Amino acid sequence: MQKQKLVIASNNSGKLREIGHLLEPLGIEVLPQSAFNVPEADEPYQTFVENALAKARHASAHTNLPSLADDSGICVDALKGKPGILSARYGGEPRSDERNNQKLIDVLKNQSDRRAHYYCVIVLLHHAQDPQPIIVDGTWYGEIALTPRGEGGFGYDPYFFLPDLDKTAAELPMEQKNRISHRGKALAQLVERIREEWV
């Protein structure tokens, strides 16, 4: 049986690995938008869900394939939810995990409240004009550590501390992270919805 192709509106290799790993058992072949030379979509909106929809429609319109986009970021309580939708560009352009993390630590070093959560919303479209996208989301609570720990993950993971596990996200094995992370929770819901509505 031929695999269903699905274009991912991202070129982030960490994200592509995570998503591909979960969707492969459903007979879905995950392809990055870079494989089709799709330019990056604008993300002009103030909410994760609107930006994810814009990215998914953009990728689907350029490829004529079903598309999946996620928009995710880290939201810090003391910063009223920032960096939020600007998480990937928090330290300026070009994007740099190192600069993003440095800016966050600089802003928080005198803060006693360093509670934070990762948030992820995933949008799946049959086609660019799909009026009924599948939308799922997930949240992962923790706090910001001022010193990094761990070699795994990406983004803010070395600074995202999980008090109940006494580890940062970057110290978790990928299997465990995929089960409990914001993206893992959203993808678990997505897999169920795909089983019910697609396969």
Q: Which residues are catalytic?
A: 71
Do the beta carbons of residue 81 and residue 75 sit within 8 Å? Answer: yes
Radius of gyration over alpha carbons of the chain, in Å? 17
Confirm if 155 and 96 have CB atoms less than 8 A apart.
no
Other Cβ atoms closer than 10 A to 103: 15
* Calpha distance 36→14 (Å, rounded): 19
Among 51, 59, 54, CA closest to 8: 59
Number of neighbouring beta carbons within 10 Å of residue 199: 10
Closest C-alpha among 172, 166, 154, 156 to residue 117: 156
